[in-house]
């Protein structure tokens, strides 16, 4: 079984050896890479190109996360054979209600539409591929069309275990009506997830923890866990900046429910204790899609930033990163970025899932509110501890997250998959 193979080194292409051809199908435009999923898609695409893969990138450019094709770098657009199809996939009360009378998951049905299916068929009719990589579960609704027009191996790159995210989220939701609706949708989503994994030839989970979950769901075909890599040189190049002392920050896409939940949990359960211990500490909540309720927060020394113009400068200027996630699945790309920037991070166990970090060495992990707050206070008051974790985080990132090597190992997995 391929998942047990030991894969090392870089992908090498000798004379006469055919180039791997990959079609990467995505439900979000990857550039600019300004949130977790777009970073995961874009860095994977770049990694394919850097490892001499012939890549074709076909994406749904949604209204919610719309990105202008004209702003995609010409070199990347050409090398990835970049094609996007626009679609308004926004949720709405009417659509959510009408879906109750359907059999499909509302989470999934929003991403299946004729125009994209036609473009997919056109792409498959013009070119043959070795691997068709579905970026996330929601693209699984196109498997029937793929199998009709292509003999390629179909791989699900699972950014999350989708139904697990919602199962965790519902346990923290207090609305009975919302819980009832979500239970229906979660059951449909889980059924769809089971149907998709039964049809694909392999799964590429983003973490080993998710790989175990897929095994629990009965998946017995090849799997290879592949973390999201980053351009380490870019993250760790020397930059002049002025650090803001006693600053704590949470940075994420704030239109994602688990991120809203995490920020609220920290505010309600940890901030008072931290502020009492270190009165001049400041907490910054940053990220696009900030809900209006956050602008009405009246707690002391809390700052809201909806638009971060320079992500790198934001990371470097602020001292301590917190990831107080209570729900979710998959990988927190912001932790990958934070460690790559050499930040001292305090995270919950869920927040750090899938990253082979060491509590007390290159990160601090705490789940109880008092423990989480005390970990932050420790870093605020103990400069040597904070600097030690910063150095270890930076070193760990350099050894674990280099994108070219991460994707190189995946390319080798794919070359082996073709012979199974």
Residue pair 345/393 in contact by the 8 Å Cβ criterion: yes
Buried residues in 367-397 as b, exposed as e (16+ CB within 10 A): eebeebbbbbbbbbeeeeebeebbebbbebb
Q: What is the pLDDT of residues 73-114, one digit of tens each?
A: 999 999 999 999 999 887 777 666 666 666 777 667 788 899
Query: Greatest CA separation found in the chain?
Result: 68
Please state the domain extents for the chain: 2-229+402-417, 232-400
Q: How far is CA 341 from CA 40, 239, 344, in A?
A: 17, 11, 9
* DSSP 8-state class, residue 364: E
Numbers of helices and strands, H then E, in the chain:
17, 12
Q: What is the pLDDT of residues 179-197, one digit of tens each?
A: 776 777 778 888 889 999 9
* DSSP character string of 98-149: HGGGSSS-HHHHTT--HHHHHHHHHHHHH---SEEEEESGGGGGGHHHHHHH
**What does the alpha-carbon distance between residue 318 and residue 244 come to, in Å, rounded to a whole number?**
5
Q: Does domain 2-229+402-417 have CATH number 2.60.120.10?
A: no
406 vs 9 pLDDT, higher one: 406
Q: Which strands make up the sheet holding 83-87, listed edge to edge?
A: 83-87, 54-62, 21-26, 131-135, 153-158, 202-205
Q: How far is CA 368 from CA 269, 283, 348, 356, 385, in A?
A: 9, 19, 9, 21, 21
Q: How far is CA 95 from CA 102, 170, 179, 338, in A?
A: 11, 20, 17, 38
80 vs 6 pLDDT, higher one: 80
Q: What is the mean pLDDT of residues 360-382?
A: 98
Total-model pTM:
0.77
The residue among 390, 391, 364, 386 whose CA lies nearest residue 375 is: 364
Task: Report the pLDDT value the prediction gives residue 163, as an integer from 0 to 100.
Answer: 57
Is a pLDDT exceeding 70 seen at residue 4? no
Q: What is the pLDDT of residues 18-56, one digit of tens each?
A: 799 999 999 999 998 888 788 999 999 999 999 999 999
Task: Report the pLDDT value the prediction gives residue 105, as an integer from 0 to 100.
Answer: 75
Mean pLDDT of the chain: 88
Domains 2-229+402-417 and 232-400 are alike in CATH topology: yes
* DSSP 8-state class, residue 66: -
Task: Report the pLDDT value the prediction gives residue 180, as an integer from 0 to 100.
Answer: 75
**What does the alpha-carbon distance between residue 322 and residue 348 come to, in Å, rounded to a whole number?**
9
CATH class for domain 232-400?
A: alpha beta
**What does the alpha-carbon distance between residue 280 and residue 276 come to, in Å, rounded to a whole number?**
9
Residue pair 401/235 in contact by the 8 Å Cβ criterion: no
Q: What is the pLDDT of residues 267-320, one digit of tens each?
A: 999 999 999 999 999 999 999 999 999 999 999 999 999 989 899 999 999 999
Task: Report the pLDDT value the prediction gives residue 6, as an integer from 0 to 100.
Answer: 38
């Amino acid at each position: 079984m391929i998942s047990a193979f030991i894969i090392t080194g870089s992908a090498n292409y000798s004379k006469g050896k055919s180039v791997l051809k990959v079609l990467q199908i995505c439900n979000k435009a990857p550039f600019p890479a300004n949130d977790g999923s777009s970073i995961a898609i874009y860095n994977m695409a770049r990694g394919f190109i850097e490892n001499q893969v012939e890549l074709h990138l076909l994406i749904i450019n949604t209204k919610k996360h719309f990105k202008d094709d004209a702003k995609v770098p010409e070199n990347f657009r050409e090398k990835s054979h970049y094609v996007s199809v626009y679609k308004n996939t926004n949720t709405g009360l009417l659509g959510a209600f009408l879906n109750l009378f359907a059999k499909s998951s509302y989470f999934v049905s929003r991403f299946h539409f004729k125009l994209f299916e036609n473009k997919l068929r056109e792409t498959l009719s013009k070119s043959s591929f070795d691997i068709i990589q579905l970026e996330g579960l929601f693209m699984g609704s196109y498997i029937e069309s793929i199998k009709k027009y292509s003999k390629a191996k179909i791989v699900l790159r699972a950014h999350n275990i989708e139904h697990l995210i919602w199962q965790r989220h519902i346990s923290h939701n207090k609305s009975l009506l919302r819980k009832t609706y979500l239970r229906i949708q979660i059951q449909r989503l889980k059924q769809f997830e089971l149907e998709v994994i039964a049809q694909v030839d392999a799964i590429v989970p983003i973490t080993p923890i998710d790989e175990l979950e897929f095994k629990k769901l009965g998946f017995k075909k090849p799997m290879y866990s592949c973390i999201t890599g980053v351009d380490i040189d870019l993250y760790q190049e020397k930059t002049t900046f002025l650090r803001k002392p006693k600053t704590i920050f949470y940075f994420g896409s704030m239109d994602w429910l688990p991120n809203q939940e995490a920020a609220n949990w920290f505010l309600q359960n940890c901030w008072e204790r931290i502020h009492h211990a270190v009165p001049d500490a400041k907490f910054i909540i940053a990220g696009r899609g900030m809900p209006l309720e956050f602008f009405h927060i009246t707690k002391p020394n809390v700052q809201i930033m909806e638009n971060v113009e320079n992500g790198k400068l934001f990371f470097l200027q602020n001292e301590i990163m917190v990831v107080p996630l209570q729900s979710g699945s998959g990988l927190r790309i912001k932790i990958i970025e934070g460690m790559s920037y050499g930040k001292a991070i305090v995270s919950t166990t869920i927040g750090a899932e899938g990253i082979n970090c060491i509590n007390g060495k290159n990160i601090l992990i705490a789940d109880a509110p008092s423990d989480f707050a005390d970990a932050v206070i420790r870093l605020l008051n103990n400069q040597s501890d904070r600097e030690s974790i910063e150095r270890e985080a930076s070193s760990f990132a350099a050894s674990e997250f280099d994108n070219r090597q991460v994707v190189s190992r995946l390319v080798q997995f794919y070359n082996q998959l073709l012979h199974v």
